[in-house]
Amino acid sequence: MNDFLLALAQAVAKGLLTGMVYGLMALGLSVIFGVMRVVNFAHGEMMVVGMYLAWAAFDALQVPPMLSLPAIAAVFFGAGYLLQRGLIQPFINRPEHQQFLLLLAVATLIANACLAIAGPDSLTVQLESRFDSYEMGPLVLDTVRVQAAFVALLITALLWLFFTRTRTGKAIRAAADNHMGALVVGLDVRRLYAVTFGIGAACVGAAGALMIMLVPVTPSLAPDYTLLAFVIVIVGGLGSMTGALLGGLLIGVSEAVAGLLGDPALKSMFSFGLLIVVLLLRPQGLLGRKETR
């Protein structure tokens, strides 16, 4: 096989694996928006907190991110639940610019709390397995990347089961489809919203725990992740679970291929170009449904 094609295949495989983690991150944003129509402008900041927590668990207790992940997701669920109850619920029916400013304030607080506590330097988790790799035919894949992608996919599958098989999951979808109808049949929509925000937060916290295995963390990463999550969910379709995953894969691959071609600007060019095209031609996203309200 031609050298370039092999390198390209290698980059695409790497991108697909990273993209699954991106997909999980974006899924959190998508679930929150799909259900309560609030855009979480603090999403990247939450992601970074997840990365820091996993780093701290490894640094202080030598617990690898894969094992601290459930605890981090649980903490994020609780924090997200409380955040929604305390701050966001009163803003649910407020104009978009007020929601935007509220979450912008939350984002500012989170990012700078990270800066105050952890400092501006980039921190990295040095796993023992970080140089290991799997060989699949001619392709060589980093072990940690494969593991991270696998866990991301597993969590996505569990979420899908939650939303399609459990009572609470179905109730949340009902509240998303028809707010008034959900109230009429006696669903506790406020609690469902808080649970949803908790789930969205848990997704992004888990994604952070996986991401720290792949890249070092600094507080300045946060706005980039927020933008990245926006691009992914808009491209895939806000509120669509498979759309978020597809968007994550697309962005992951474009990033890896841009890295291969040696120009990181290409990735942003591609992702923002794609965003503009999708917004104009298919604003509901590649896999989204048409707006019902």
Residue from 5, 112, 154, 177 binding another protein (CB under 8 A): 112
CA distance 26 to 260: 24
98 lies in the site for another protein, by CB under 8 A: yes
Supply φ then ψ for residue 135, to 5 degrees: -110, 125
C-alpha torsion 216→217→222→224, nearest 10:
-10
Q: Which stretch binds another protein (CB under 8 A): 187-195, 199-207, 239-247, 262-270?
A: 262-270
Q: Which stretch binds another protein (CB under 8 A): 122-130, 151-159, 176-184, 222-230?
A: 222-230
Nearer of residues 140 and 276 to another protein, judged by Cβ = 276
Nearest to 248 by CA among 287, 221, 213, 218: 287
Q: Which stretch binds another protein (CB under 8 A): 14-22, 88-96, 143-151, 182-190?
A: 88-96
Report yes or no: 206 and 50 within 8 Å, Cβ to Cβ: yes
241 lies in the site for another protein, by CB under 8 A: no
What is the closest distance, in whole angstroms, from the C-beta atom of residue 112 to another protein in the complex?
4
Contacts of 262 (CB under 8 A, 6+ apart): none
52 lies in the site for another protein, by CB under 8 A: no
Residue identified by tokens 């304030």 is 105
Residue from 70, 78, 90, 138 binding another protein (CB under 8 A): 90
Report yes or no: 24 and 248 within 8 Å, Cβ to Cβ: yes
Q: Which two tokens stand for residue 102?
A: 């509220």
Q: Which stretch binds another protein (CB under 8 A): 72-80, 150-158, 189-197, 272-280?
A: 272-280
Residue from 116, 126, 186, 262 binding another protein (CB under 8 A): 116
DSSP conformation class of 87: I
CA distance 13 to 285: 24
What is the closest distance, in whole angstroms, from the C-beta atom of residue 276 to another protein in the complex?
5
265 lies in the site for another protein, by CB under 8 A: yes
Residue from 5, 61, 70, 96 binding another protein (CB under 8 A): 96
Beta-bridge mates of residue 135: 140
Residue from 8, 66, 92, 227 binding another protein (CB under 8 A): 227
Q: Which two tokens stand for residue 125?
A: 């988790």
b/e map 69-97, b = 16+ CB within 10 Å:
beebbebbbebbbebbbeebbebeeeeee
What is the closest distance, in whole angstroms, from the C-beta atom of residue 135 to another protein in the complex?
36
Nearer of residues 87 and 157 to another protein, judged by Cβ = 87
What is the closest distance, in whole angstroms, from the C-beta atom of residue 281 to another protein in the complex?
8
Q: Which two tokens stand for residue 72?
A: 């981090």
* Helix or strand holding residue 116 (H, E): helix 96-118
Q: Which stretch binds another protein (CB under 8 A): 17-25, 68-76, 111-119, 136-144?
A: 111-119
DSSP conformation class of 94: S
268 lies in the site for another protein, by CB under 8 A: yes
104 lies in the site for another protein, by CB under 8 A: yes
Which residues here bind another protein, judged by CB under 8 A? 39, 87, 90, 94, 96-98, 100-102, 104-109, 111-116, 119-120, 219, 223, 227, 230-231, 234, 265, 268-269, 272-273, 275-276, 279-281, 283
